[in-house]
Structure 1
């Protein structure tokens, strides 16, 4: 797992042809806005969340975010334990996001 600043996360994502964006917030939080193209997997779903992670392609690069960076950091750690090595946490989360978003 790598913690990336907002700038590094956005820059790396933009240049990555093998990128997948994961939003690990609740559906309610997502309804308030999200990064376009993000897949929502709510980390609060427990085993359902872990099962969904197991279905992901481990060869992809995952850019993970939540509201402030805490849950996405946890998610990246879980992903690493499941064999997904390239998981990048957005430090500061969506609340500090200055890039494109949908509401």
Structure 2
């Protein structure tokens, strides 16, 4: 099951985890988008890459994942695919990094 989180809920999840390795942040935008601006500590797996499902399928299904993209559409599709693959705890960042930025939450990049 996928749960949508708004950016405030997501930052709280990240902060409550205190860097817990059980929560992984996954950016499903293109590598170019990821390089420009991203949530610190996020890994990049491009949803539009032909290798996406193969790359996702080797991830640890026991961990929790916060998935994001620009506005939440690609991340929702990716999160649903992950849920179908048996990932138990998947969160979608509603509004994506655009809403995250609008709220002034921290990012890194060029």
Same fold (TM over 0.5): yes
2: distance between equivalents of 1:14 and 1:88? 15
- Which consecutive residues of structure 2, in runs of 5 or more, have no partner in the other structure? none
Say if 2:32 is the partner of 1:32: no
Say if 2:63 is the partner of 1:43: no
Per-residue CA distance 1:34-75 (angstroms, 9 max, x = gap): 1111000000013x1000111100110000000000000000
Residues paired across the two proteins, number = 102
RMSD value, Cα: 0.9
Q: Alpha-carbon deviation of 1:12?
A: 1.3
Alignment of 1:4-83 (within 5 A): 4-16=5-17, 17=20, 18-46=22-50, 48-83=51-86
SS of residue matched to 2:70: coil
- Which consecutive residues of structure 1, in runs of 5 or more, have no partner in the other structure? none
2: distance between equivalents of 1:40 and 1:31? 9
Query: Structure 2-normalised TM-score?
Result: 0.88
Say if 2:105 is the partner of 1:99: yes
Which 4+ runs in 1 deviate beyond 2 A? none
